[in-house]
Every structure is written in C-alpha cells, then in structure tokens.
Structure 1
Amino acid sequence: MNPKVLHTLEYDKVRNRLAEHAATSLGKARIEALQPSPDFEEVKRLLRATDEAVKVDRLKGGAPFGGIRDIRAALHRARIGGTLNAAELLDIANTIAGGRKLKRFLLALHESEPIPSLAETAEPVSENRIVEEKIKSCVDDQADILDSASPELSRIRHELRTSESRAREKLEQMIRTPSIQKMLQDALITIRGDRYVIPVKQEYRASFGGMVHDQSASGATLFIEPEAVVTLNNKLRELKLKEEREIEKILIMLTGYVAEAADELAVSVEALGELDFIFAKAGLAREQKATLPIMNDRGFLKIKKGRHPLLSREAVVPLDVELGNQFATIIVTGPNTGGKTVSLKTIGLLSLMAMSGLFIPAEDGSQLCVFDAIYADIGDEQSIEQNLSTFSSHLTNIISILKGMTPKSLVLLDELGAGTDPSEGSALAIAILEYIHRIGSRVVATTHYSELKAYAFERKGVINASMEFNVQTLSPTYRLLVGVPGRSNAFAIAERLGLPRPILEMARGHVDEDDRRVESMIASLETNRAAAEAERLSAEKLRAEVERLRAQLEDEREKLREQRDKLMAKAESEAREAVAKARQEADEVIRELRRLALEERGAVKEHKLIEAKRRLDQAVPELRDKRDVPKAKKKPDAVEVGDEVRVVSLGQKGHVVEAGSGGELTVQLGIMKMKVNKSDVELIKSAPAKPVQPAAAASVKRSRDENVRTELDLRGSNLEEAIIETDRFLDESFLNGFGQVYIIHGKGTGVLRAGLQDYFRRHKHVKSFRLGNYGEGGAGVTVVELK
C-alpha cells in the first residue's frame, strides 16, 4: 500500500490509537509494522482472531500479559556467544512464566468457549520450566545473584561478610577513641573505592597515618584508610574479585541454558507479540464500540452508520453509503464545509482498517471489500519545492493513480478538476471519471462542477450524491445523500443574509434557464427525499415498538408456560402421592380380607365386608371428575356367571360365581368370595360358550354344582389322592370357565407341592402356575391359570 495514501487517510493515527492498547513492547512493535493486507483469506483470518479476542475481552475482561518482555535482543546475544546479565536473565524467566500463564488461560477457555484462532496462535508459546527454574534458582526478583547460586559463591560471601564485619569493628574502635575523635570531621565510617575509610580534618593529616583515598570539595576533609585496616581492606578486595569471577561463571552457565533454548524461545516471543497485537485490536474495538465487518472480494461495500474513527462519537455524523452493486462510481457535489472530504476519508480509512483485521466503528451488518490497492487524491496538493500549482499537483497525483489502478482498486478523488478554468476542468474531470469507470475501479469523487451532475445522471453505473445543507440555519448537516445531486445554495444563502432583492433578481436572470430547471428539480428531489426519510424513520420507530411489544408478549407467554408447567408438575406430584397412599391402603384392606377368608374358610362376615368397603372408599382419591371415570367395557346387565370381571372399587379381578336378585353378584376374588353390586363391576372376558352335546351322548350329562369353588384344599392328603382330586377339580373349573384357581397344599415337607406342580406341567387345561403371593397363602398355595 502506498505510504503517501496511508498518511493522507490518517492510517498512522489509527495505528497510534491501537498501540495505546498494547500490553507489551512486543505488541507495540507488531503494531508499528501493521499494514493493510490485499489477501482476502488473510484478512478473514485476521478478523476471526480479532473477533475471538473481543469475545475473550467481553467474557474475561482481557487476557493476562504480566511479566512478558521483549527478550529478542538477549536471545540473539546468547545465541552468538555473549554473556547475559542478571536483569536480562530475569526478564527471560519472567517471560517464560508469563507466556505459560497466558497460554494456559487461553487453552482452558478454549475448552468451554471455542477460540480456535487464539488457541492455535498460543500453541507455540514455550513452557520451558527448566530454563525458568535454573534462572530463578540463581537470580532473585531484584535481579541480584543469590548466595545459593553455587556453593563457592555462598562460601565467598560468608567470608566476605565476616571480613567486612571485622573491618568495621576495627574502625568503630578507632572512632570511639577520644584522641582520634578530635581529629575526625564526623564520627562515621564510609567507603571510597571499595575500601573502608574515615573522614579526617585536613590539619591532622600529618599526625594521622594511613592512605588518603579522597577529599571533600572544600578540601577541609580527607578520607583516609588507617594503616590498621589496610590488610583487612586488601582481603576484602580479593574476596570481591573472587565474588565477581564466581558470578561471571554463574551468568555464563545460565546463558548457556538460554542459548540452547534460544530458537524455541524466539518462536514463543513472536507468538506472544502476535497475541498482544490481537488483544490490542480487541481493546480498540471496545473503545470505539466497533463491530465486525462482513468482507468480500467483489468490489462491494455497504457502510451502515459509519463514523470516522478519529472523531468523537458525539461530534461525528454517521455515514450511510453503498458502492459496487448497482453503481461503481459516486460523484458527490455540494458547497464547501459540507463534509465531503470527511466522507471520502471515512470510506477509505474504514476500508484500510478492515483490511488490517480491525473492527470498524459502524453498525452490525456493514460490508467492506478487500481491494488490491486504495488510491487517494485528497487535500491541497500545492508543492512549493517542485514549483507546482494546486492543479498541477493534483493532476500529477491523478496520473500516478491512473497508471497503478486495477479493476479491484478503490479510487478517492477530492475536488476533481479544481484549480483551472471551469469549462476545461469539468471536461477533464468527466474524461478522467469515464476512463476509471471503464477500467472497473470503484470511485468516489467530489466536485463543484454542475456538468458532472448531468454526467452522473446519464451514465449507467454512476450515481449522484450530495452533502445535506440546511438553508434555514445556513449550516451543513454533514449527511451524505446518495441519489440526490448537490445544490449550490448561493442564492438562498445570499437571500437569508439580506442581499437586496433587485440584485438577487438580476443574478437569477444571468443564470441559464436549463440551470434553473435543474436547480428546481434538485430542490423538489430534496423535498421528496426529506418526506420519504421522515416516513422511513416513523416506520422504523413503529417497527421497533412492535418488536419490543412482541418480545414483551413472548416473555409473558414464556412465563405463563413456566408457571403452567410448575403447576402441572406440582399437581402430578400430589396426584402420585395420593394414588400411592390409596394403593397402599387398598392393599392393606385386601390383605386383611384374604387373611379373614383363610381363617373363616371363605365365609367372611357381612359387617367386616362393610367396614373394609368403607376403608376402601376413603382410600380412593378424588382426582377426577365423574365424567373422566372410564366406562365399563360391557354393561353390568350383560354379566353372567363364569365371566371374568374387575371390581372397580377394589381394583381386583375375579370370576362371577353367582348372580343374585336386586343386581347383586357374588364374585370369587382369589380365595375370597364377595358380594358386589353390578354397577361396581366391568366385564373383562365372557365365559366360553358351553359345547353342544350330540344326542347319543345325552346320558353323559353332568349337572353343575352350585357350590363349586375356585380353591381346592388338599392339606392332609397323600400325593396319589391329591392328584385324583386335583384332576377332577381342574376339569370342573375348566367347564365352569374359571380363568384362575387356587390349590391349597400347605408348606410341610414340600413333597405334595412338588408332585402337584410336576402334574400341572403335563395337564392339558393348565396354562401356567405359580406360588401364591403375600396375602394369597405364600408357598402353601399354588395359583393355577387355566387355558
């Protein structure tokens, strides 16, 4: 991209704003080198990364960059054999630790909130704990070498502290001596050239032995090393040199570790700089309330409520513009100070920002194009050095643009054709625009010439635009109106300012009739546009209100649904509890009745049945309206002896063994008989029809025993007697249509039970059998189901 164009569109100022959000010098260096990319896929990759950083910034308030430094120079010195100092080593260790923290932060977030671009960028960041721990074990947080860095250094420093203590003690004894105190300027010990000295008055130099190392500015004080501590100071000097040599060995060792990992750390530093750059873009987007643009490579742009990024949100008027779909060239006309140049710069600068992977200060849904180049001729191009006029400078710049542009370029021309004769300037402007239009580049040009309005009106793919001007207030509104050519407004402004009417009328008389008609037409267009704009704003306001009401209604509906679901769940829970309680009570009543039946051999007393029926009625929960009670499968009047029925109030199945008068039925329920009303039963299965016997077999007729039962008590019988009796009983039960009978054999030794069950397996009328449940006799009873 041409550096002159970047400067003209103030791209460098956007970079400066971006650099303010960088957390490290690595990020700032990356921003200084930032350039718009003409590669469509690269721009999409950059914007994806920025979008992810914006998401991290929104969710977590940013990313941790603490401790990260630019260590590239130190790595280079280590790589070529130089020795790093303690501060440089500490920066390397802190950068490794900070990079590891940042990497783990991003990878952990990636698991819950996918940020693939950032995770990929963070992957090369080094987590080299070996180098970090080696440095931290030798260098403290103030970049001083620790005593524990090596055993030799620890020994030297211990001896050094001991020698220093002895030297100070010796000098303190001296300065406390009265004969010496009078010779001292101050009773204190100081250091000159790494040697302990005391301040002695000038007049006592002859009587005070020792070596002079320094004197005060006035010359009244001499800093003398007494002979008594010369030996101690010499030893201290030797120990200091040993300490320096040992520290040098430690630094060389640590530098060696760094040199081995230099390539790895260099890649890590580049990744950290890229991450800082990406998060700086997110910070700028937050500051500008910017949005993610939709990018294309088709030469199409549609900016919705775009704002110049260097102007305050309150001062700037949003820009709406579309280019590259129905028209490839926009010609903006209108008076000066109307904001035409700002509009040109906004279009160009937002395009450059998007091509750099930056969000743009515009509404969601704005679309921008990745151009191969953006050209701009904006502002006063007069050059004193080159002895060029404004017109010549503009023309030189335009000629350069014409040579470099392609069908995928964006061209921005300010005041095209200005600075020369109007007739020639307008003709030249039309010719230049026509040439660029035929090449296929996208163009936005501003001009004063009325001839260009007609050109834009007649030429397909070219459209007029203007900057709105309020004649009442004599001030521009800075709104770009696409499709409406600009008016000069000279007469209107003159009239508002009080120019005498005769002069105005004379001036209008000098204007060509065609020009007057054009101005009238433009005024009419502006009036109609203003009316349409007012209608559109009203419609948008109504639509927003409808959307708000719809959202409010949907919220209320959702709350009602939730409330209904809670009530249904509560009712269902209460119903389950009631049914469970009723079932438990019913089971208890049935077990009690079966127990009584076993004890009284089927003859349950009436008052006990009535009491049990009352308990059952109380146990059944009133959960449904009578209309919801399921109807019987067959009318009670149709129930006959032998039919399988269900007693509704008890919820139990049985067989009708007797039909009494008054609508009463005797029902066999397991080993218990019970009288119930016909209205309390529903038919499950009718008894099988009795086979018609042939005439010859009439003598074999067997009368039905009215006292036939559904249980057979074999307790006390041997196996052979039991089988004979059981065979007769099963035949009678089958003929009576019973579906289920009870064989009471007792528990005993189990021989009778086993023999009978083996017999049941071979009997032709037996469908299945099982031991009795709790309340049916348990292991002392076998329940047989007949075919």
Structure 2
Amino acid sequence: MNLRTLRLLEYNKIVEMLTSYAASPMAKRKCERLKPRKDPVLIQTLQQETRDALIRLNTQGNLSFAGLRDIGASIKRLEVQGALGIKELLDIGSVLDMALSARQYGSSDDNEEKAHDSLYSRFMELVPLEHLSQEIHRCILSESEIADDASSGLKAVRRNKKLTNEKLHNQLNKLVTDQSKQTMFQDNLITMRNGRYCIPVKQEYKNSFPGMIHDQSSSGNTVFIEPLAVVNLNNQLKELDNQELAEIEKILENLSAQAASEYENIKFDFETLTDLDFIFARANFARSYKGTEPIFNTDGIVDIKQGRHPLLDKHTVVPVDIKLGEDYNLLIITGPNTGGKTVSLKTLGLFTLMGQSGLHIPALDGSRLNVFDDVFADIGDEQSIEQSLSTFSSHMSNVVYIMNHVTPNTLCLFDELGGGTDPVEGAALAIAILSSLNDQGIRCMATTHYSELKLFAMSTPGVQNASCEFDVATLMPTYRLIIGIPGKSNAFAISKKLGLSDDIIERAKTNIDSNKVDFETLLSDLENSRKEIERDKAEIARFKEEARQLKERAKAKDDELSAKKAQILADAREEAADILEEAKEMADSAIKKYNKWTTNPHKADASTMENERKKLRTKMDDYRKMTPEKRKSMTSHHTAKDFKAGDTVHVISMDTTGTVTAPADSKGNIKVQMGILSSLLPASDLVIIETPKQNNAQVSINNKRGMGKALNIQPEINVLGMTVAEATSLVDRYLDDAMMAHLHKVRIIHGKGTGALRKGIHDYLRKQSYVKSFRLGEYGEGEAGVTIVEL
C-alpha cells in the first residue's frame, strides 16, 4: 500500500489507538509496524486470530500480559553462554510465569470449539519451564536481594558476617559508652567511613584513641577514627563481603547456565507471548468499537452494512451503507459541503486498510470487503507553496500518479474530482478520468458538485449516483448516504434560508441554463418522492409492528384461556375422582356389611338392611343434586316402558353397569342389580347397553342369582403387559367379584419388568378399605412377579 494513502486516510491514528492496547514494548512495536496485506490467505489468518481472541475475551475474560518483559538482549547472551545479571534473570522468570499463566488460560475452557480455534495450539505449545522459574524466584528475592538459602556457601558467609558484625559493634559500643571518655566524643554513635566502622572523636582527643583516621568533619572539629581494637574485625568484614560477592556471582552463573540450557524454549515462549499480546491487542481494540469480522472476497465486491467511521465519536457517528462491485463499479456521491461525502469516502478506504491489516471493522455482521492490491486516494486541499502548485495542480498531480499506477484490482477514491478550476473544463476532465477507470473495471468512489457528473452516472452502465442527505429546513446534514439518487447542491434553498432576498435568488435562477433548472427540478421531485416513500415505509413498518404486537397479545390471551380451560378440566377430573373414590368406599363398606350378614345371618335383620339401603339411596340423591354438571355428558332418552328384565344398563349417576331385574313400578322406577347392590332408579338415570341376545334360560339364571359371575371366579388374575390404568380397572372389578364369592386370598400376576406396574397396583391396593393386607409372592408363589392379597 502506498504511504500517501495511509496518511490521507489517517491510518496512523488507527495504529496509535491499537498500540495503546498492547502491554509489552515488543507487541507495541508490532502494532506500530502493522501494514495492510495483499495475500488473501494471510489476511484470513490474521482475521481469524482476531476473531478467536475476541471470542475468548468475551467468554473467558481478559488475559493480562503485564508480566511479559523484553528479554531479547538476554536471550542473545544466553545463546553465547553468557552470564546474566539479577534483573535479567528476574525478567526471564517473569516471562516463564507469564507462559504458565497463558497456557492455563488457553486450556481453561478446553471444549471442542476452543480446541480447533487458531490460538489453541499457540497456548498449548508454550513451555513454562516451571523448575527454572521456581529456582530463579527461590534464589533471587528482588533486584537488590539474593536469598540466604540460594547456596550453602552464601548462607555460611552471611552467618559469619553476622557474627563478626556483632563482635565489632560490641567492641565499639564499649568505647562509646565508657563514662570516663564521654567528653571526648563528638556524638555517642558508631558511623562508617570508607566502608569501615569508626567512632567520631573531638579533634583535641584524637591521640587518646590509637587507630586509623579515615575522615574528618568539614569544620575540622571531629575526626573519624577506626580503633586498633576493631581493625582486624573490619578487615574480616571486608573479606567476608568479597566472599559474599563471589558466592552471588556463582549463583548467578549457575542460574544463567540453567537458562542457557533452555535457550530455545525461552526464546520460543518469548516470541509466542509477544505474538499473543499483539493478537489480543487487536481483539481488545475491536471490542472497544464493537467491531466485526468482514467477509473477504477476490471478486471486487464491497458491501458495508451500517459502517461507522472509527475515528468519529461512536455515540454520534451516523452509520452508512456502501455497496460497490456488483451492479456497478463506480459510485459518484453528490450533495452540499459538510454533508458527509468525504466521511463516506474515507470510511470505505479506511475499512479496506483495516480489514487487510487483520483488524475488525465497526460495521454489522456480514459486511463484505474485497482484497485490493492497492488503494489510491486524492482527498483534501494540498496546495503546495514550495512547489508553486495551485490547488488544482496539486490535485491533478496526484490524479496523474494514480492513473499511471492503477490496476484492475485497485480501489480509487477521489474527493471533489476536477475541482479548483473552470467548472466546465473540470467537469469534462472528471468525466474523462472516471470513464477511463470504468472502462478498466476499476472500483472507484468519487465526490463532486458537478451536475454533469450526475448525468454521467445516470446514463453510463456500471456507474451509480449517491447522495448525502441534507435537511434544508434546519440547514443541517443528516450524514445518511443514499445510493441511487443524486444529491442537490441546495445553494438557492440554503441562501434563502439564510436571508438572501427572493429578487436576487430569482435573478440567479435566470442565469442558469433551462436544462439545468429542469434537471434540478427533477432531482427535487425525486428527493420528495424518496422522502414520501420512506415515510410510507416507516408507516408500514409501524403498522406491521402494531399487528405483530396485537398478534402476540391475542396469542397470550389464547394461551391464558387454554391454561384456564386446562385447569378447570383438571379440577373437574380431580373432583370426579374424589366422588368416585367416595362412592367406591361406600360400596366397599356395604359389601363388607353384606358379607358379615351372609356369614352370620342371625345378626342381620330387615330393618337394619333397609336403613343401610336408605343411606346409600340418600347419598346417591345428594350426589345427583349437588354435582349434575360434573357428571359425564351422557344422557338418557329412554322411558320406563323401554326397560325389561335382563337388560344391561349404564347407571349415569354412579358411572357403573348393572342389570335390570324387574320392570318399572307404578312410579316409573326400575330395579337394577349392580353387583351386590340393588336399587330403584328412574329411567332418566339409565342407558340401555346393546348386547348380543342371551339364552333366555341363562338370563333367568343370572337374574335369579345376581352373582352368577362371582360363582365362577378364579383365585388369580393376570394383568401382564397392561398399563397401570388398565390393570387397576380390571383388578378393581376382579376384587369386587372375589368379595362376592367369599374369596379371602387372591393372587395378582403382574410380572417383574421395570416395577412400574407393580407399584401402581400396590398404590391402588393401599387405598382399598376391604384389603386387609398384601405382599409380594414368596419362593414357589411367583416371588416379585405376583402380589398376594388378603380380603
């Protein structure tokens, strides 16, 4: 990419913003050297890295590169087996710690998606060298302190230094605390001169303290004497200091040797972490302006959706849609100054540069960019006083350069092409230049004021008009780019709004060619039509939104009604179940009493049995009165005459089946036998069930016995393969028959299976009052596949 275009499009400001997101000086240098690339594969790789880092930032949080130090010089010294200083070794330890932290970050969300992103292998290939970093931190506490335990030799030397120091201070303390000599000391303290411990003595008493004079005060009143008694101790301290330095040198040499043996791994970690810092800087930069990954192609197609110029205030910038390379290769933008034409021009150019540098662009997902070999731009007023060039000459020099270097795969951007000279000649030149570019199929975007270029765009294949909207009422641009409609200069309207008299404006209009007036009128009509269409579209969108909301409210209401309906039905079923359960308990109780009476006839008497029958009848009547709406919707259309002995009927009020045992009485009530119960019921409560005609003799037997079915009952029932509901219904009828047959123990065969059927049957048996007990079968009885019930 040519440097002039980078400068004109302010690419350097993008780089400065990017650099601020890098942590290490190495990554900052990479940011500063970032330039657009031409290789589609490399561009895609850079974009993929930025995208994957951005995904990790959003899902895992930030990765700090604060521990990444510049150890480039240290690595070169390690390469030649050189010894490193304390700070250099600490920096290497910091880089290795950073490598460990980054590796943990890279594998913290180790799922399939992350395992295939472009960064996973970089993280996993890092070699933290924990043994080396731990050894460095064990030996070196800070840039000015080596740990005592760094080596046994250092520990011994420092122990000796401590003992010698204590001896020396004890000797000197005896001198400075001697009461007989207090007047000889300038200060009652121990000081150090030339690396040796001394005492401050007044000048006149210096001969009273044999030893070496190391210094005297500026006034000459005090001399600093090293007493002979501590000279040897001072000498020992000096020697121990030298031994300590020698031990530290050994420690640093040893650590340097260990680091040198891992030279290649340290260099790899350093370079990889620098790359990651650079990649995450791009991702953090993209996150700051909500950037998205553009879709690149090599077909010359540009489709920017809601693009926002990255150097403008993100809260006020107006998004623009820019298309190029599909239906047309050349886009001419017209309209008044300060209307946003140049911003649109720069947005296209800057997005191209950013995208080809591996940076996301501030636009909606799905925006497309072409990989251009170069971008040429002629933007702004670059009058050259030094070269004695006018504005027009300066612009034309740039245009000449561009025309000499363009290729079919370049992008050209012209701001006010042909401006700065006679309008007629300028327009003619602009049309000629743009025609040449259009003939070569070069993608181009240009801004202009010339009406001739508007006509050129309308009449030339491959060229399209566009305009930046301007509100004449407020004299303010809206900065919206409208493709397909040329813009008006609005000079007359703006002048009138600013107060220029109508006479002058009308006189000005007479100086314009009638064809141009007609053209401007046409543009005005097109603009008004466009605004009217947009208003209609907005209103249609509003109606659609209202319809959608109404539909949602109707659906919500329907869902609410459905829920209420379901709740009502559930409540009704629950109440019906309670009523049936109560009726069942009543029947169970009556059966038990009947069994007792049949077993002990002496305890039964007609009056007692009649009272029980009346109680049951009263309960049934109460049920019919209280819950007629809860009963099944089945109704009877029979009359009393329709019923004859032997008919099988459904009793609506009790939801059970019975047999008519006698014709209707004088009141129209019909006697029905339901198991062991016999009751007089009205014809309206009975529905005849059609059954195959039975042998009259058999009917007669059944009517006489009433319990013929019970006489042939088996001591077991098989419900294998049934659902819980089917099985419990069958078991319920079976147990009724068993009770009437005076069976005291029966067996239910349900099988083992999943246990669901067995559990359902057991739950049912627990609720039956006439079931004394039940248990699973024992060995020889069928074990867990059967249940033994005692009645």
Which TM bucket (shorter chain)?
Answer: 0.7 to 0.9
Q: Are the structure 2 counterparts of residues 777 and 457 from structure 1 closer, same or farther at C-alpha, using a change threshold of 3 Å? A: closer
Query: Quick one: which of 670, 674, 688 aligns to 2:678?
Result: 674
Does residue 664 (structure 1) correspond to residue 665 (structure 2)? The answer is no
Does residue 347 (structure 1) correspond to residue 367 (structure 2)? The answer is no
Does residue 775 (structure 1) correspond to residue 773 (structure 2)? The answer is no
Match for 1:21: what amino acid? Y
For residues 189-228 of structure 1, the aligned pairs below 5 Å read 189-192=190-193, 194-200=195-201, 208-212=209-213, 223-228=224-229
Query: Quick one: which of 567, 588, 595 aligns to 2:592?
Result: 595
Q: Are the structure 2 counterparts of residues 659 and 230 from structure 1 closer, same or farther at C-alpha, using a change threshold of 3 Å? A: farther
CA shift, 1:348, in A, is: 0.9
CA shift, 1:20, in A, is: 1.9
Conservation of the 8 A alpha-carbon contact between 1:582 and 1:621: no
SS at match of 1:412: strand
Counterpart residue number, 2:147: 146
Question: Aligned partners of 1:544 and 1:71: how far apart in 2?
Answer: 61
Question: Aligned partners of 1:76 and 1:105: how far apart in 2?
Answer: 29
Does residue 444 (structure 1) correspond to residue 445 (structure 2)? The answer is yes
Counterpart residue number, 1:725: none
Q: Larger deviation: 574-583 or 323-332?
A: 574-583
CA shift, 1:111, in A, is: 4.8
Q: How much is the aligned-residue C-alpha RMSD, in angstroms?
A: 5.1
Counterpart residue number, 1:161: 162
Does residue 607 (structure 1) correspond to residue 611 (structure 2)? The answer is yes
Counterpart residue number, 1:356: 357
Conservation of the 8 A alpha-carbon contact between 1:633 and 1:684: no
Match for 2:590: what amino acid? L
Question: Aligned partners of 1:118 and 1:60: how far apart in 2?
Answer: 14
Conservation of the 8 A alpha-carbon contact between 2:454 and 2:486: no
CA shift, 1:14, in A, is: 0.6
SS at match of 1:368: strand
Counterpart residue number, 2:9: 9
Q: Are the structure 2 counterparts of residues 576 and 381 from structure 1 closer, same or farther at C-alpha, using a change threshold of 3 Å? A: same
CA shift, 1:440, in A, is: 1.6
SS at match of 2:359: coil
Segments of 5+ residues of structure 1 without an aligned counterpart are: 693-700, 715-738, 758-771, 780-787
Counterpart residue number, 2:21: 21
For residues 253-652 of structure 1, the aligned pairs below 5 Å read 253-313=254-314, 318-332=319-333, 340-362=341-363, 366-379=367-380, 394=395, 397-417=398-418, 428-446=429-447, 452-465=453-466, 482=483, 483-484=485-486, 487=489, 489=491, 516-539=513-536, 541-542=538-539, 545-546=542-543, 549=546, 552-553=549-550, 556=553, 560=557, 567=564, 571=568, 574=571, 578=575, 581-601=578-598, 605-612=609-616, 625=629, 629-630=633-634, 647-651=651-655
Question: Aligned partners of 1:448 and 1:310: how far apart in 2?
Answer: 26
SS at match of 1:298: coil
Does residue 37 (structure 1) correspond to residue 41 (structure 2)? The answer is no
SS at match of 1:605: helix
Conservation of the 8 A alpha-carbon contact between 1:293 and 1:366: yes
Match for 2:673: what amino acid? V
Q: Are the structure 2 counterparts of residues 196 and 629 from structure 1 closer, same or farther at C-alpha, using a change threshold of 3 Å? A: farther
SS at match of 1:707: helix
Query: Quick one: which of 689, 696, 708 aligns to 2:694?
Result: 689
Q: Are the structure 2 counterparts of residues 743 and 117 from structure 1 closer, same or farther at C-alpha, using a change threshold of 3 Å? A: same
Question: Aligned partners of 1:279 and 1:702: how far apart in 2?
Answer: 94
Does residue 135 (structure 1) correspond to residue 136 (structure 2)? The answer is yes
Question: Aligned partners of 2:210 and 2:515: how far apart in 1?
Answer: 109
Does residue 238 (structure 1) correspond to residue 244 (structure 2)? The answer is no
Question: Aligned partners of 2:476 and 2:191: how far apart in 1?
Answer: 77
Match for 1:710: what amino acid? M
Q: Larger deviation: 435-444 or 643-652?
A: 643-652
Question: Aligned partners of 2:640 and 2:85: how far apart in 1?
Answer: 107
SS at match of 1:407: coil
CA shift, 1:125, in A, is: 4.3
Q: Are the structure 2 counterparts of residues 538 and 647 from structure 1 closer, same or farther at C-alpha, using a change threshold of 3 Å? A: same
Conservation of the 8 A alpha-carbon contact between 1:589 and 1:615: no
SS at match of 1:311: coil
Q: Are the structure 2 counterparts of residues 702 and 644 from structure 1 closer, same or farther at C-alpha, using a change threshold of 3 Å? A: closer
Match for 1:147: what amino acid? D
Conservation of the 8 A alpha-carbon contact between 1:579 and 1:620: no
Question: Aligned partners of 1:648 and 1:250: how far apart in 2?
Answer: 103
TM value normalised by structure 2 = 0.74
Q: Are the structure 2 counterparts of residues 673 and 31 from structure 1 closer, same or farther at C-alpha, using a change threshold of 3 Å? A: same
Q: Are the structure 2 counterparts of residues 647 and 499 from structure 1 closer, same or farther at C-alpha, using a change threshold of 3 Å? A: closer
Conservation of the 8 A alpha-carbon contact between 1:96 and 1:128: yes
Identity of matched residues, %: 36
Count of aligned pairs: 721
Conservation of the 8 A alpha-carbon contact between 1:712 and 1:743: no
Conservation of the 8 A alpha-carbon contact between 1:582 and 1:620: no
CA shift, 1:333, in A, is: 5.5
SS at match of 1:168: helix
Cα shift readout 1:694-723 (whole Å, capped 9, x = no counterpart): xxxxxxx99848633536999xxxxxxxxx
Conservation of the 8 A alpha-carbon contact between 1:581 and 1:619: no
Q: Are the structure 2 counterparts of residues 460 and 710 from structure 1 closer, same or farther at C-alpha, using a change threshold of 3 Å? A: same
Conservation of the 8 A alpha-carbon contact between 1:77 and 1:84: yes
SS at match of 1:164: helix
SS at match of 1:601: helix
Conservation of the 8 A alpha-carbon contact between 2:487 and 2:523: no
Cα shift readout 1:7-37 (whole Å, capped 9, x = no counterpart): 2221111111122233444542332232223
Q: Are the structure 2 counterparts of residues 746 and 225 from structure 1 closer, same or farther at C-alpha, using a change threshold of 3 Å? A: same
Conservation of the 8 A alpha-carbon contact between 1:659 and 1:666: no
Question: Aligned partners of 2:658 and 2:502: how far apart in 1?
Answer: 117
